[in-house]
């Protein structure tokens, strides 16, 4: 059993938690880990502060997805840590509504190739069909683009939606050119944020390093079965069901290119001063989704911060000092930390100009 009292008022640091995926990538994550020869592999994601187990067909015996975290220089299983004192770590209101689940999964994604055309269930579909409290509504926050990629992009929603019979036929025959012709490339750059509602067909372009904020499941159906030489097992294509099950969750609405900015792109809003020079802004608020929230803090001078809910935080630019419980942590770009709901003494100080922290929060 975790001894709780010494862990109160401490920052929870989030080391790398690499997870096997069907697509290659991860060289950026290797570099962040200090590996002498960074390379792309199938360990292309880092699941951050995760209580969610990864679903990888053929790897059912491998326990992967749930994070190991660092508190006061000691390693703890994140799930066990939260379960040891849910009210302190997650907040009384959150626990009353959701139990011990954070209702949130954060990842680093580092894509070496364009990912599969795919779709995830909405929250409503998951509750109605899958008997799950969560679907997989998600959001992307772009961090960087590989140097050899000249046209970074994502695909989001059908710009030219196909007839359902045509879509079924193209999936069954793997006519990828026909599938791709349903989409326009949406150009992206570092700092962009996009919201991807459950049910929206999409694909991530090659060479993007980004944060994914999502509901805490690993649900996915794929329209294409092979990428970079890896062929998806049949059970991994439509969540163990058939193609019609997969199609039943797909939003086949038309989203013309000119509507993407209003439907999916997320501009900063609701700027709030934290000190004379530092401020916080909303990237994804409750007006966009009830599944999660995303904020961004610009750190230009020292300030104290408190909240009645927890957050998973990523330094996305510069370096900062974060002090809690009498300890000061020097955090660099892409370092991550969890702030418990009960943490009342948090001080943030910039170490470099123009430091930024991305804050990922649970449902309001």
For 126-161, write each residue's pLDDT tens digit. Answer: 999 999 999 999 999 999 999 999 999 999 999 999
Residues 34 and 45: beta-carbon distance below 8 Å = no
Residues 122 and 214: beta-carbon distance below 8 Å = no
For 268-327, write each residue's pLDDT tens digit. Answer: 999 999 999 999 999 999 999 999 999 999 999 999 988 889 999 999 999 999 999 899
For 2-38, write each residue's pLDDT tens digit. Answer: 445 567 889 999 999 999 999 999 999 999 999 999 9
Q: Give the residues across from 138 on adjacent strands.
A: 196, 214
CATH 2.60.120.10 domain extents, the chain:
11-263, 269-361
Q: How far is CA 14 from the centre of its chain?
A: 14
| Angle at the Cα of 60 from the Cα atoms of 68 and 240, rounded to 5 degrees | 125
Domain 11-263 class, CATH top level: mainly beta
* CA distances, 287 to each of 141, 183, 262, 338 (Å): 18, 26, 13, 25
Full-model pTM: 0.96
What CA dihedral angle connects 25, 186, 136 and 55, to 10 degrees? Answer: -20
Sheet with 118-119: strands ordered across: 186-187, 153-156, 202-204, 118-119, 221-222
Residues 112 and 103: beta-carbon distance below 8 Å = no
Q: Which residues of 187-196 are buried (b: 16+ CB within 10 A; e: fewer)?
A: ebeeebbbbb
Q: Which CATH number fits domain 269-361: 3.40.30.10, 3.40.640.10, 3.20.20.60, 2.60.120.10?
A: 2.60.120.10
């Amino acid at each position: 059993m975790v001894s709780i009292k010494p862990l109160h008022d401490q920052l929870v640091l989030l080391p790398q938690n690499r997870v096997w995926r069907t697509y290659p990538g991860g060289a950026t994550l290797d570099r962040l880990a200090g590996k002498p020869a960074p390379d792309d592999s199938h360990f292309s994601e880092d699941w951050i502060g995760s209580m969610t187990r990864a679903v990888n067909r053929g790897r059912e015996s491998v326990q992967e997805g749930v994070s190991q975290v660092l508190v006061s220089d000691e390693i703890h299983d994140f799930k066990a840590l939260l379960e040891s004192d849910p009210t302190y770590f997650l907040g009384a209101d959150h626990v009353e509504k959701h139990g011990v689940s954070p209702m949130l999964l954060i990842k680093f994604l580092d894509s070496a190739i364009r990912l599969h055309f795919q779709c995830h269930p909405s929250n409503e579909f998951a509750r109605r069909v899958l008997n799950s409290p969560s679907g997989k509504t998600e959001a992307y926050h772009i961090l960087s683009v590989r140097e050899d990629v000249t046209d970074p992009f994502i695909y989001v929603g059908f710009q030219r939606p196909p007839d359902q019979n045509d879509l079924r036929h193209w999936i069954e025959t793997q006519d990828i050119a026909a599938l791709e012709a349903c989409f326009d490339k949406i150009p992206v750059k570092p700092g962009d944020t996009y919201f991807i509602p459950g049910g929206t067909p999409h694909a991530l372009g090659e060479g993007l390093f980004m944060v994914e904020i999502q509901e805490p499941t690993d649900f996915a159906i794929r329209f294409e079965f092979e990428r970079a030489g890896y062929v998806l097992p049949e059970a991994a294509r439509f969540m163990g069901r058939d193609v019609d099950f997969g199609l039943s969750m797909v939003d086949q609405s038309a989203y013309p290119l000119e509507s993407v900015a209003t439907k999916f792109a997320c501009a900063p809003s609701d700027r709030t001063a934290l000190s004379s020079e530092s401020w916080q802004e909303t990237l994804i608020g409750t007006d966009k989704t009830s599944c999660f929230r995303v904020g961004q803090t610009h750190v230009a001078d020292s300030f104290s911060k408190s909240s009645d809910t927890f957050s998973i935080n990523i330094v996305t630019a510069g370096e900062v000092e974060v002090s809690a419980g009498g300890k000061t942590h020097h955090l660099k770009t892409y370092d991550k930390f969890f702030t418990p709901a009960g943490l009342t003494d948090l001080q943030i100080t910039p170490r470099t100009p123009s430091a930024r922290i991305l804050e990922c929060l649970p449902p309001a």
